Amino acid sequence: MKTRRLGRTGLQVSEVSLGTWAFASQVYGTVKEKDAFDAVDAALDVGINFFDTAPLYGDEKTNGISETLLGKALGSNRDRVLISTKFGRYSNEGGAANFSPARARESVESSLQRMGTEVIDVLFFHSPFGFEDIHDGVWEELANLKDEGKVRFLGHSISLFDKTEEMGREWARDRKIDVFQVVLSMMNRETSKFITDMGNSDLGIVSRESLANGFLSGRITKETVFPANNLNSRYSKEEIGERVDYVTSLEFLLRGQIKSMPQAALRWVLDQPGVSTVLSGARNRTEIIDCAEASDAEPFDDSEHQRLNKNHMRDFPAA
Looking at the annotation, which residues are catalytic? 57
88 close to 126: Cβ distance less than 8 angstroms: yes
Query: Which residues make Cβ contacts (< 8 Å) with residue 231, sequence separation at least 6?
Result: 27, 28, 213, 319
Q: DSSP string of 59-94?
A: -SS-TTHHHHHHHHHHGGGGGGSEEEEEES--GGGT
Closest to 48 (Cα-Cα) out of 267, 268, 288, 259? 288
Spatial distance between the Cα atoms of 292 and 226, rounded to a whole number of angstroms: 27
DSSP E strands in 149-283: the ranges are 151-157, 179-183, 204-208, 277-280
The letter for the amino acid at 311 is N
* C-alpha torsion 104→150→206→95, nearest 10: -20
Side-chain half-sphere exposure of 291, counting CA atoms within 13 A? 33
Query: Which residues make Cβ contacts (< 8 Å) with residue 88, sequence separation at least 6?
Result: 97, 98, 99, 103, 104, 107, 125, 126, 127, 128, 133
Spatial distance between the Cα atoms of 230 and 232, rounded to a whole number of angstroms: 5
Query: Which residues make Cβ contacts (< 8 Å) with residue 7, sequence separation at least 6?
Result: 178, 179, 198, 199, 202, 203, 204, 205, 276
Q: Roughly how many angstroms between the first and final C-alpha of the chain, as a whole number?
A: 29
